[in-house]
Amino acid sequence: MKRVFAGDPRVWLAGGGVLLVALGLMLFYLVRAEPHWVGTNSVGVRSPVVDVPGGARLCVPELEVPSGTGGLQLAMAWGGPTRPALRATLRTESGTGRANLPEARVAPEAWPVPVDLALPALNVEGESAPARLCLTPDQPVTLGGTAGLLSGRRPGTLDGEPLTGRITIRYLPADGEKASLLSRLDDAVDRAALFRPAGVGAWLYAVIFLVLLPGLWLVSLRLLATRVAGTGAVPAAALAVAAVAILNAAAWALVTPAWQGPDEPDHFAYAQTLAELGNTPDKVPSDAPPFSSRQSGALDATSTYSVVGLGDAKPPWLTADERRYERMQADVASAEDDGGGYLFSTSTHLPGYYGLTLPAYFAADGGSTFAELTWMRLLTALLGGVIALCAFLTVHELTPGRQWLAVTAGLLVAFHPMASFMSGVVNNDAGVNAAAALLVFLLVRGLRRGLTIPLGVALGVTLALLPAMKATGTALYPAAAVGILGMVWRRHARPDLIAYGALSGPAAAALVLRRVVTDALEAPSVGAGQTAGGASVGGVASRILDDPGIYLSYTWQMFLPRLPFMTDLHVQKWPAFDVFIEGGWAAFGWVVVRFPMWVYLVVVAVSLAMAGLCLIAVLRHLPAARRRGWELAVLVTALGGVVAGIEGAYFTGAARPVPAEQGRYIFTALVPLAAIAVGGALAFRDRVAALLAAGLAAAVIGMGYASQLLTLSRFFA
């Protein structure tokens, strides 16, 4: 046991105590009984989809009713203060459930109104049963759902005429019984294993939550405890931090349902187009479909656009849903090379990240689309390891005598809920975040040790290729300018000129290569030189320069109270909380899976406290801070540049009802943010600082575990 729990025992007590509190909170939410659904038809409420006149008959075929269903819930609206009477039948092979909802004085306060229909006679044998729902209201009602139909599915009918949308149906347990989340987790892991690669089963999720993630806690706390005790080598710690980050992101890749990463269908389609057609997607709308027919079938099978971005919908989770998809794949011809059209979210990006995913795509080629998606996610998880490794190395360069501080920085990145989630889905944010983290580390290392030829080559290539991952990477260029200026200021003897040449030469060569490769990969509809990426950056700069006063006011009001002379440009009282705390820490899926509000209040309190403590630490260690002035300037400029870029991309000069910014965009400054967080510990003496660091790391580890449990339960329980 001593070998397992090696290192400073105070770290184990501090970190273990915080984790026990986190586990206690999770257990509270796991065991409390709550209302729940036994299933849905995977159609969320996006809008009203059908007006049903009084006496008309609406029927929905091809439903799959789960076992345990004792009623239905519809999303409805009606005119006046009285809810109309409604008759409904749900017919299965084993019997028919009937519901008669009487007229009642229930004024619809807001759209949509959930209306429950009890079906006491319904009996479903096995996991699920095919069914047909028909209903007739006495007076006109409107039903909510999602417009559009799924390929290969029969539409519903209204008095025999086909509908053009799908209505939302939720299956309720008998008598409105409540159940704890803990009691439903065994079903949740079975459901989570659907639409995955062959070999993925419920057993794997048991391993993830009961073995892998607790094992990562143990490894992380042991790593921190041994470094506080002054034992252990730097390379071993660096590799351990990277491995922990990769495995945690890989867990996210398997927990997150297919296509539930932000804009993931578009990112996958970009990579598939690159792999199958040898070019990037069309940059403007064209006759070519955006998705291949094979991907379209996978999107339909998981009801993706009926589910994403909605808090009231769940993906298909029945074995019958997966079997229907497999039958369609066998019966309907589909291809992977018949896409390549314009993708709203991704067509304008350069192909850097997508090229990195191709080995995983080709490795899974010949399997299902879901296998390709999963292997691409797992490869993306490697980039999460790069980010955590760079955080470790950067802080180690700044504080070489405190290896435990570097370990803490790496662990904060490795377990950061939103950052690790984004490293476990197919999205080019992971590519630009890794490239940005590498750039910051190379700049700090060059300032600390001087620019060598290998370092100059690496820095030059990283600078040139950063925007190839995503154009938002250019927000790091001001920090790069500060860093290079600092290197020249400190070391500018004649022998150093070779190293600066090693920086500029490869940078220029990489820029030329990037342009040549990008032009060669452009879709046939795009002329040479008309590559993506630069236009959006130029457009942001142009908007800022056209009205700098409005831009500064918009950015100020994002974070601070509006001054009397400013026009109110935000509807929210504190938009930064919505964007960077809620959206930047825990907003999973398509930013709809969130914790209770109290969690974010704790996060903002701790974040502000660590930022304030970091400032105190700088003042407390002022001589050391002055010696690292250029390095600190790089970190501050990187963070400021990223924030300025985000706000510049979204300010319009008019008030927004909802902020368009997303907190994940700040992750290109993840290394500076980690450095600020751990820097706050240095406001205290090392003995106290180490315990604070351990508690902070343990809190983020616990929140990371809770985040994956929340995501599993939100989609599958």
**DSSP assignment string, 8-35:** -HHHHHHHHHHHHHHHHHHHHHHHSEE-
Task: State how far the alpha carbon of 217 is from the alpha carbons of 178, 189, 410, 641, in Å.
Answer: 33, 22, 13, 34
620 vs 522, more confident:
620
Q: Which of 269, 459, 286, 275 is nearest to 373 (CA)?
A: 269
The region of weakest confidence among 382-391, 435-444, 490-499, 662-671 is 490-499
In whole angstroms, how large is the CA radius of gyration of the chain? Answer: 27
Output the pLDDT for position 109.
Answer: 66
CB atoms within 10 A of CB 243: 16
Output the pLDDT for position 505.
Answer: 83
Asked if pLDDT for residue 649 goes beyond 70, the answer is yes
Task: State how far the alpha carbon of 300 is from the alpha carbons of 239, 261, 372, 427, in Å.
Answer: 41, 16, 17, 20
Output the pLDDT for position 665.
Answer: 96
What number of CA atoms fall less than 13 Å from residue 185's CA on the CB side? 19
Q: Which residues contact 616 (CB under 8 A, 6 or more apart)?
A: 680, 683
Output the pLDDT for position 530.
Answer: 42
For each of the domains in the chain, give its residue range(s) and CATH number, in order of start.
Answer: 39-177 (2.60.120)
Output the pLDDT for position 119.
Answer: 86
Structural contact between residues 427 and 380, judged by C-beta atoms closer than 8 angstroms? yes
Asked if pLDDT for residue 153 goes beyond 90, the answer is no
Rounded CA separation 84/437 (Å): 59
The continuous run of DSSP H or E covering 64 comes out as strand 58-66
User: What is the band of 576 on the pLDDT scale with cuts at 50, 70, 90?
Assistant: very high
Average pLDDT, the chain: 92
Output the pLDDT for position 528.
Answer: 40
Q: Which residues contact 67 (CB under 8 A, 6 or more apart)?
A: 38, 124, 125, 126, 127, 128, 129
Output the pLDDT for position 529.
Answer: 40
Instruction: Quick: pLDDT tens for 489-501.
Output: 998 887 778 888 8
Share of the chain above pLDDT 90, in %: 76
Output the pLDDT for position 38.
Answer: 93
Output the pLDDT for position 108.
Answer: 65
Instruction: Quick: pLDDT tens for 207-251.
Output: 999 999 999 999 999 999 999 998 889 999 999 999 999 999 999
Vertex 395 angle, CA 391 and 399, to 5° = 165
Structural contact between residues 139 and 102, judged by C-beta atoms closer than 8 angstroms? no
Asked if pLDDT for residue 143 goes beyond 50, the answer is yes
Asked if pLDDT for residue 535 goes beyond 70, the answer is no
Asked if pLDDT for residue 265 goes beyond 60, the answer is yes
Asked if pLDDT for residue 1 goes beyond 80, the answer is no
Instruction: Quick: pLDDT tens for 631-646.
Output: 999 999 999 999 999 9
- The average pLDDT across 395-411 equals 96
Output the pLDDT for position 500.
Answer: 85
- The average pLDDT across 53-76 equals 94
User: What is the band of 73 on the pLDDT scale with cuts at 50, 70, 90?
Assistant: very high
The owner of tokens 């491995």 is 243
Q: Nearest 5°: phi and psi at 424?
A: -110, 15
Rounded CA separation 271/256 (Å): 19
Burial class, 87, CB count within 10 angstroms (exposed 0-12 / middle 13-18 / buried 19+): middle
User: What is the band of 531 on the pLDDT scale with cuts at 50, 70, 90?
Assistant: very low
Asked if pLDDT for residue 533 goes beyond 60, the answer is no
The owner of tokens 């240095």 is 682
Share of the chain above pLDDT 70, in %: 97
Token digits of residue 382: 């490697």
Asked if pLDDT for residue 566 goes beyond 90, the answer is no
Token digits of residue 244: 């922990």
Instruction: Quick: pLDDT tens for 429-488.
Output: 999 999 999 999 999 999 999 999 999 999 999 999 999 999 999 999 999 999 999 999
- The average pLDDT across 356-378 equals 94
Output the pLDDT for position 570.
Answer: 85
Structural contact between residues 183 and 38, judged by C-beta atoms closer than 8 angstroms? no
Output the pLDDT for position 534.
Answer: 40
Rounded CA separation 438/273 (Å): 28
Output the pLDDT for position 537.
Answer: 65
- The average pLDDT across 349-356 equals 96
User: What is the band of 525 on the pLDDT scale with cuts at 50, 70, 90?
Assistant: low
Instruction: Quick: pLDDT tens for 41-63.
Output: 999 999 999 999 999 999 999 99
The region of weakest confidence among 176-190, 561-575, 595-609 is 561-575
The region of weakest confidence among 195-204, 229-238, 516-525 is 516-525
